[in-house]
Amino acid sequence: MSTDPGDRLPGLVAEFLRRHDPAGDRLGFLRARFDAGLAWVHYPVGSGGLAAPRHLQPLVDDEFARVGAPDNRPRRNGIGLGMVAPTLLRHGTTAQRDRLLRPLWTGEDIWCQLFSEPDAGSDLAGLTTRAVRDGGDWVVNGQKVWTSLAHRARWGILLARTATDVGKHQGITCFVCDMTAPGVQVRPLRQLTGEAEFNEVFLTDVRLPDDLRLGGVGEGWRVARTTLMNERVAIGGAPAPREGGLIGLVARTWRDRPELRTAGRHDELVRLWVRAEAARLAALRLRQQLATGEPGPEGSAVKLAFAELAQRISGFEVELLGEAGLRHDDWTMRRPAETDLLTRTATHRYLRARGNSIEGGSSEILRNIIAERVLGLPVEPRSDR
């Protein structure tokens, strides 16, 4: 019998489907898939995987999709799946992985990221939220901002300052925050679009047991870097077909509305189409690199390109449609679980795209990362170095 995981996987999937009805109980099916190691095959045995090569995951996903099996609605828990899970895998204890990974993967537990603060700006390490040791607990006080999904989250991955007499990058510790704990208050932040995807989170004497500490005391910056590198891949490196996403919408409008065409607009559309295709191929290359290891600083370049391109394409769409491009469909404050740009108006897409250059690392910070870690240019002078 072959010991090659690539040879064994089709048989394992077939046996699983023989024993579990894809049309039966959805949650039970997903839990069983995790327990069988077929959730993310590159994770360790017992953590939803089989310790197989990562590039084999599409083989498993495609076969489940082919038979119409339920998926875990990955966009509903994007922070959990794209950012928290790899952080738990690398820095979590066995007990934390056993407790948290399965409900994260099945979507039973939604996650948020408690990193950004109102007074820190783009300097994440300048955070002031404090965690003070009190016996077997940590007592947390502070405020976080721009927190997606906080109003739905069961857990949050939290950065807090635990020491002030060391460099600001050394005095940070990472925790798993129970969003139902007394002292956690979530308030909506309404955006340009009228929606409130984001939140402010106030933490007042929140007690977190030490077994919810993720990584060592004072090692939070190292943990955060794992989360942030995966965040940029999750935002900028999402798979997309050729002419998918925003460029696909604009290209279809161009084909269907010949009265909107001018020579100048044609040239701009072609430039945007070529850039979109280059960004798509760069994201594809990044995912291939990710299949053989952890994401590197290249993810910053892909996320930066995604943000700039989304703003240019959405701006072009508004210009192309003229007055019709200025009509907003709904100003009602809503709190969507997922960002669905493709079914909304051009105005909504234009306004929402303004946030792309802030969320997941501002474009200014990403340019610094690219300059210093990718191009090897001299580091920016800073007083804390």
Could you give the 3-state DSSP secondary structure of residue 331? coil
What pLDDT, on the 0 to 100 scale, is given for residue 383? 59
- The mean pLDDT value for 98-110 works out to 97
What is the amino acid identity at position 174?
C
What is the amino acid identity at position 263?
A
Point out which residues pair with 111 in neighbouring strands: 155
Q: How far is CA 96 from the centre of its chain?
A: 20
Q: Is the pLDDT of residue 192 over 70?
A: yes
Contacts of 103 (CB under 8 A, 6+ apart): 109, 154
User: 93: which 2 tokens?
Assistant: 């204890």
Rounded Cα distance, 279 and 285, in Å: 10
pLDDT tens digits, one per residue of 238-296 = 677 899 889 999 999 999 999 999 999 999 999 999 999 999 998 888 877 776 666 67
Q: Which residue has the tokens 């996403």?
A: 245
Rounded Cα distance, 168 and 154, in Å: 29
pLDDT band at 130 (very low <50, low <70, confident <90, very high): very high
E strand or H helix that includes residue 111:
strand 111-114
Ramachandran quadrant class, 280 (left: phi over 0; alpha: psi -120 to 50; beta: rest): alpha
Q: Is the pLDDT of residue 108 over 80?
A: yes
Rounded Cα distance, 70 and 90, in Å: 28
Bridge pairing between strands 155-161 and 172-178 = antiparallel
Catalytic residues: 231
Q: Is the pLDDT of residue 382 over 70?
A: no
Distances from the Cα of 272 to the Cαs of 275, 319, 345, in angstroms?
A: 5, 14, 19
pLDDT tens digits, one per residue of 137-181 = 999 999 999 899 999 999 999 999 999 888 888 899 999 999 999
User: 280: which 2 tokens?
Assistant: 């798509």
The rounded percent of the chain whose pLDDT value lies above 70 is: 95
CA angle 322, 328, 330 (to 5 degrees): 165
Under 8 Å between Cβ of 13 and 38: yes
Predicted TM-score (pTM) of this structure: 0.87
pLDDT tens digits, one per residue of 196-210 = 988 999 999 999 999
pLDDT band at 55 (very low <50, low <70, confident <90, very high): confident
E strand segments, 120-190: 130-134, 137-144, 155-161, 172-178, 184-189
